[in-house]
Structure 1
Amino acid sequence: MGKLINKNCIVFDIRGEKKDVIHRLAVELGKAGKITDTEEFYKDVLAREAISPTFVGFDMGLPHGKTDHVLEASVCFGRTAEPVVWNEESGETADLIILIACPLAEAGDTHMKILANLSRKLMHEEFRESLRNSDEEQVYQILTEVLEG
Structure 2
Amino acid sequence: MAVTAKATWTPDALARACADAMWREDRASQGLGMEITAIGPGHATLAMTIQPHMVNGHGIAHGGFIFTLADSAFAFACNSHNERTVAAQGNITFIRPGKLGDRLVAEAREISRSGRSGIYDVRVSAGDSVIAEFRGHSRSIGGTLVATGQIDDPTK
User: TM class by shorter-chain length?
Assistant: 0.3 to 0.5
Please give the TM-score of this superposition, normalised by the length of structure 1.
Answer: 0.32
Higher strand share: 2
Higher helix share: 1
- Higher CA-based Rg: 2
